[in-house]
Structure formats: C-alpha cells, structure tokens
A and B are shown apart, each in its own frame.
Chain A
Amino acid sequence: MSASSREVSEQQVFRVALIGNPNTGKSTLFNALSGLKSRTGNYPGVTVEKRTARLVWQDLQIELIDLPGTYSLVPRSPDEMLTVHTLSGTSDHPAPDLVICICGARSLERSLYLSSQVMESSIPIVACINMWDEVASTDSAPNPHQLREELGIPVIPVSARTNEGLTELQNAAVHVLTGQQSATAAQQHFVSPQIQEAASELAGLLPASGPWKTEAAEFLSLRALVDPGGFVESYLTQHCGADFLPALTELRSSLDTCNQPLPGSEAVQRYAAINQLQGITKAHRTQQSQDATTRRLDAVLLHRAMGPVIFLAIFLLVFSTIYWFSAPLSDAVETILGAVAGQIESSLAPGPLRSLLVDGVVAGAGAALVFLPQICLLFLFIAILEDCGYMARAAWLADRLMSFAGLSGRSFLPLMSSFACAVPGIMAARTIENRRERMVTILIAPLMSCSARLPVYVLLIGTFIPANNLAGGLLSLRGLVLLLISSLGLILAIPLALLLRQTLFRGETSSFLLELPDFRIPRLRVVLQRIGDSAWDFVSQAGTLIFASSVLIWAAASYPGDHTRQYELQAQLEALDQDSEPDVALQEALQDELNLRNAGLLEQSLLGQAGKVAEPVFRPLGWDWKIGVGVLASFPAREVIIASLGTIYSLGGDVDENDSGLRAAMSNAVHADGSPVFTIPTVLSLLVFFALCAQCVSTLVVIKRETQSWTWPVFSFCSMTALAWGAALITYRLASSL
C-alpha cells in the first residue's frame, strides 16, 4: 500500500474487517463502533456468523465486518476457513480494504500471534489493544508507541466497554484508508526467510484464474505451506493443476524446520519473534498469576467437591425460576389476547370471519406469544452466565461428563442453548472444530427439552398428575415428573451420541481446549441486548411459523363442514347472555347442542378424517383419534398441540396450558365405551412422545442449513419420530401394567 494520498470517490464503500482472538472483546468493540446489535459474551466463540454494519466515518462509507474469533490462520473448522477466505478475497467474500486486529491487553502475545499472520496478507492493518483500562495503571501495560515502530502499523489503545479510544481508532482507520498514513507491516519477519522464499516460489505456481485476489497468492501459499493436509492446501489444490500438490510437498520437505514438524515450527518461530518485541514489557511476559478476584472465585466455583455441586445448583435454580416465573407472565399475555378476542366477539356476529379471527388469528398469535416470557427468562440466565465468565467454567466442569458421550465441553453451550430452542443451539455448534463432534452435537441437540415443550408438559402434568407433596413438602410430585420428562431427552442423548460416534461418525477422539476468561460483572446492556435479540429472533422466525400453522390448523379443523347451525346457536347463546335474567335451562340445552355440533364438525373436517385414518398408528400408544389429530397438527411446531387440543375440545383455539376449560374438557374426554381417554399411562406416553419427537420445522430447516444437506434433517425427523413412538409405546405398556 503506497503512502501517497488516494482519491476517494463519494460512492466508494470501504470494507473494514474486525479480526481477533476469542475473548478479546471483539463483539463488544463491533457493537461500540456500530451501535448495531451483535451477540457478545464472555465465552469463546459467541460470534458464529459473519456480521456486518454500514457506518460513516468522517464522510467515508464503511462496511464493518465482524469475523469469527480465531487463534490463528491455520483453519480447523469451516468457521475459521471463512476468515482465510475473507483475507484472501473470493467472489462471496471480497477482501477488506482494512483489517482492524483486536488484541487483548492481558494476552497481547497471543493476540499478536494472529496479527502477525494477518500482516502477511498484504491488507493494510490497524491494531488496537482492547481492555486497556484493565492494564493502563499496571506495570504490565504494553507500550503502543514502541509497538507501532516495531510493527509498522498504527497501534491504538482502546476500551470498548467504556467507549474510550474509539475516536482515535476511527481516525487511524480513516487515515490509512485515505492513504494519509502507512499501515504496511515493517520488515519484521515472523517466520524464517526460508519459509518466505518457499512461499514466493509456490505463489508463482498459482494460476491467475483463482478466485483469490492476485496480491493474496503469497499469503495463501504460506498458509498452505505450513499446514500439511489442511483446509488451505485442499482449497488451493482444487483450483490448481495436477503439478501443484507435488510441488508443494517438495518445497515443504526442503524446509529446515529445526526438528519441529510443521505446523508446530510456525508457532515456535512466531513466538520467538514476538518475544523480541520491545513494546511488550517484561512484567507482561512474566505475569503468571490470575486476576485476584478470579483466583478467589475459581477456588470455590471450580473446587473438586463444591464445583460440581454449585454447577448443579445453578442450573437447577435456572430451570426452577423459569418454571415459576413464566406462568404468571404468560397469563398476562393471555389476558391481553383474551381482551382482544372479546372485543372481536362483541363487535362481530358469529360467522366464518369471526371464527377465523378469534380461533385462527388471535389463537395463533397467542400460541406463539405465550413462549416469549420463557425465552426471555432463559436468555436472561444464559446471557448473565456467559457474560460473567461462568459458562466457560461450566464447559470445563462438564467436559468429563460430555466425554462419556464422545463429545467435549465445547458441546455444552450448544446443548445448553437447545434447552431454550434447538435453533440457536444448532447454530452455536459451528464453533466445534471437530466435524464429527459437531455433527453429533447437531443431531442430538433437538432431543434437549426446549422451551416449546414446556407448555405441553405443564398442561398434561398440571391436569393429570396429582398434586402430591413428597419429602415433607420440599418437592412436589408434579415438579418431579416435570424434571424427569425434561431430562429424558438428555439422558437418552448420551447413549445415542455414543452410538453415533461409533457408527456414522467414527474416528478421531474428541478434544477439549478452552480459554477460561477472567470473571467480570455482567453488563446490563449486553444482557438486555441478548434478551432482545433472542425474543426478536423467536417472534420473527419461529413465531410467524407457529402463527401460520395455527391458522392452517383452524382451517383444516373447520372445513369441510356446514357451520350454519353452529353460528345460529352461538348467536342465540350470546343473545341470552344479554338478558338480565337468562333462562338457565335453555342456555344449557343450547350449549350442549353447540358442543355436540362442534364435535361433529371436527370429526367431518380434513383434520378429523386424517386423525381417524392414522388412528391405528396411535392406538398402541393409548391415544384416541383426537390426540392423533393434535399430534398431526403439531408437525410444524410441537407447541401447536395446545392450540389444536383447544380447537378439538370445542373451546376455540384461544386456550393456553393453564386454561381451566381445556383441562376440564380433557379430564372429561371419554372413549366410545365410556372409559376416560386421558389415563395416567396415556398421559405419560404422550409426554414421552413429545419429549423425543422432531415436531419442529424450524429445527429441521436449521439442520439442513448447517449440514448443507437434506440427508440430515430427514434422518433427524425419521429417527426421532421412530424413537419417540417406540419410547411412548414402552411407557404406555409399562405404566398400564403397573
């Protein structure tokens, strides 16, 4: 990059990429710079997707790109390869005009390791030392001026959490972009001249037709050279002639790597060069003690005996709190929607339009919105645990347990998130380096008891499980059943994961390497942002799907059928309600006729017919055709069963799991021979089915997106449905024989 001033056209958009180690506050800096919502957390690997924001810095149009956190440019996962693709430029990911390297003030050497690799990409660089406020007054503070001279690039101290130094960073970036300041790395060599020469030679073999930009040829060659059999090697081999790989191998074997096989020798050389930098103080290099608060907290939270107990207590508390607090909040949502439905009923005469609005639209909105409190509460806890630094410790503590399933502590967060919703959980699995581990995590994530199952559990348990107290009032039987059914998926996931690891995903044992960040006080802004993001994601994605399917179910449950008499009866009943002294006997007679008529209409409907056709499949599980209809209707999203049970039991769709009418109707439901439908074995088999089935379109769509193949969502759906059916059958038989 030349130092001469560059003409800047008004329309030109400069691409500025943020790159850095996990845990250096990269997402926080992205947020501080953009003001845009981006998920951040005190847990390595929170940025799982590339995020961008459009900004204006001193009249320059800027597109800011947040790249996933990585420790080096030796990619170990598709996520990390994305960074190499971006730096070398492809058609999908054009190379940025500037890279901002974010360095952690406490772990500067590790940050400069990555920065030194980025410096070889021929893209101008500005480095910033984040979390400067934490080291500014200590003797381990690095010297930015010295580093600027040694590295030849601007080095700016910033503190993204307090917005300090951001203006200086923007100024430095603008100066480099407009050519007022040079950002060309000094002739500082981080790898041996021999490797550099070999890389130049190899670059000559790369065809000009490759998707990378021409200047990146040497950078890519170096990356391929130091990582035998890696992602970059196969990427280049794809685009080069047959003579490329032999040439690469020969060049590689000619390298004198001082008894350190590649790619280890790259690390040795780079750290040796970084050790020579005078801008890093001796006090920084020799800091061997942890932050004092973190050390004291770790002594308790990671204690051999206390650690696991606290771990269990924290997660037990999280789930209990969600269960206790979400019910009144969901009731509030219901009350509001009930008022809306009442308003519609009082202003419209009974008819197809009113039925659509009340039983379809409002009920559909209700079916989606009642989850909002649970999702917000769960993400409140996840955000707090992540941001304070406990989540990484939970992964460390859980690693041994996860290793029994052939997984690692890294799978803990994706699986933990799946307790809220499998969709973000499956997306978070991208941070798992090992492909087989990632696939197994994705496939077992939908078994975790997501918040959408909770309403089904609450309805069935609250209605049919007696409210006995155990252990002297400390535990309720309902709570115990809820805990068991919520952990069923988790319990079965362990042998299933192991089975997958030994059949479809055999190979290399799992590994675990995770940075444990220092503890810090969770930031309100980050926590609120996280809750807002997840709530919005849910309402806009899953919520709309649930809403749409609710309306479709209403249609399938209403038609074909003749509703004339139904509307007449409704109108008569409502007219009676207006009387000051209604004729109670007449009212009851009309209501009974209406209920009978409703049941008849449902039986004739598309959904009712489908339920009857499928009844032989459900019969062994102790279900009647109405339950079958509910299960069929809940294919798009399992939580829909509440709304469909409401419709089926002639109560309209505007019911929730706490609706007394639905509970009463279900308790009173009888088979043709007069025996009750919802016996304990039936309820248990239904609970088990819903705990294990894959009734969720969103999850299946995300699995397709993450695995880049329709094979795995189809596999997931078939295997989980078979598992759910089998387990429900066993449950029904066992419970019936007791």
Chain B
Amino acid sequence: MSEKREKYKEVAYYPGCALEGSGHAYNRSTKALGKKLGLKLKEVENWNCCGAMEVKNIDPKIQTYLSSRVMSIAANKMNMDVVMAPCNGCYHNLKKAEYDLANDQKSVDVVDKISKKAGHETYKSGQVETIHALDWVKETIGEEGLKERVKNSLDGVKIANYYGCMYTRPRHIFPEKDAGAGSESTSKPHFMDDLLEAAGAENVDFPLKTACCGGAHTLSDCDTSTKLVANILQAAEAAGAEVIATECPTCHSGLEMHQIRAEKTMGLKTSVKIIYFTQLLGMALGLKPKAVGLHENISDSFDFVKTKGLA
C-alpha cells in the first residue's frame, strides 16, 4: 500500500481524446483535484488516441499499437513508470495492450514492426503500470486522507456509483483486481463508493454498477442505448439516488444524452443528476463548481449542489 502511495504521487497523465472534447469536465476536475491534493500530473507528451472501441473493431492489433505508443512515450521519453488514465476506454485499452504484449507473440511482432517504421522505441510489457483515476486517489490519499481534507461534506447526498463495462471487464486484463484485501472487485467494484463515502456521501444500494450504457452504439443504435440508459436512470432513482457518480466520459455523456432522448422519445422523465466522481470529490474538498467544470456538464446540477451546501 505505502509503496503505491509514493509511486502514484507523480504519474504520467493520459487524458485521451474524449477529455479534450465532450468529456472536458472530467479533464478539468481531475487536474483540479490533483492540484488540490498535491499530486503531480505530467501529461504524456504528444500523445495519440488509444484506439478506442472503434479502431479495435477495425483491427485489434492497430489498437494495441496505438495504446503501446502512449506507454512507450511515458516510459522511454519521460522516464515514468505509472500512466494514469481517467477515461475507462483509454484505461481499458492500455491494460489490454499490456496483456496482449505480455502474452501474444503476434501482437508483439506487429507492434514492433509498426513502432520501428513510425520511428520510436517499441514498448515492452512491464515498462509502465497503467492505473485509473480511482486507483490514483484511493492509493495516494485514501479514505483517511480524504476525511481529513473534506471542507464541504457530501453529507445528505444520495449517490448511485456507476462504473460501467470497461473498468472491470474482461477480468484477465486486470490482474491486480480480485486479488484479496484492499483490491478492487470486478463483480462488485467499490473504489468510487469508498472515496465518496469518505467524503460524507450516502451511497445507495445500486444494482447496476457495471451494467452497460450502450456507449459503443450511442449514436449508431440510439434506441438500444436509450433503453439501456433508461434502465440505469430508473434503477438509480428507485434505489433512492439523487446523483449518479461517473468515472468514464463515454458513460457520462451517454447517460446525459440519453436522459434527454428518453424524455423526448419515450416520454420518460428522470431527474437524477449525472456528475463525475472527480467533480464531487473536488467540491467536497472546497473547490468551486466551476473549478471542477460543472458548467461543462449537460445535466444541470448547479441548483442541486447549492441546496446541498457544496457551492
């Protein structure tokens, strides 16, 4: 634990494409949170897309290459040994590339061939450790550290913690999960629950923590995504949640978009707020709503955070 505590205090930060666009609020709040907590983020120099779901669908080995390039820069150019990716998609893809490069010779060969032609050092499995923003806060500050630092307690805020698909599945690319005491669970993840609870929140018993929001087809199969999101929103409200806390820009914008679409096309109105966990933690530590990018969310929660004494 303490080894990670020191190791994660300065990490290579890989925001990824979504955090420069639709997920900018997550980018802003992650950086603001890091600053507030005294954690150092060194952005991966001249990074590229991790390949996302889309390139993986065209050719999985190109996705492996794209993710490996990001890790290669962190390791070989910046001399870093930890890459922190807040986006579930990026995090998943870097983990998947790490797994493939450790276990599949064909992937190693393809990545080596493309890396040489592209003119950079080939990434070798084991050079960096990829972690999620949840690991980052959990290991460096932890629940005790958060409790000491809370200025505006999330007391009285009822939260459904939503982790989505890419953070836990498939299990084999996350060897550090399901690894006994203190580790994250792939069937019942709890890192976000732990952190928000430490900040005073009341976590509701939410059965759809790792359900799918249909993010892969959020635009190409809107009706399916709307139905899946409607399930999540309704389950959260039925569990008594006022807020769904998110940790992925694709899930987050999917929930926001299809909350509106469910209202417009299915006549299903839900009022649960959708807020990144980094925004919630930031406000609990005393950051202003705008400093954590609350104005960049589509789901409008300004009045809500005011009534909860967070603004």
Question: Do A and B share a complex?
Answer: no
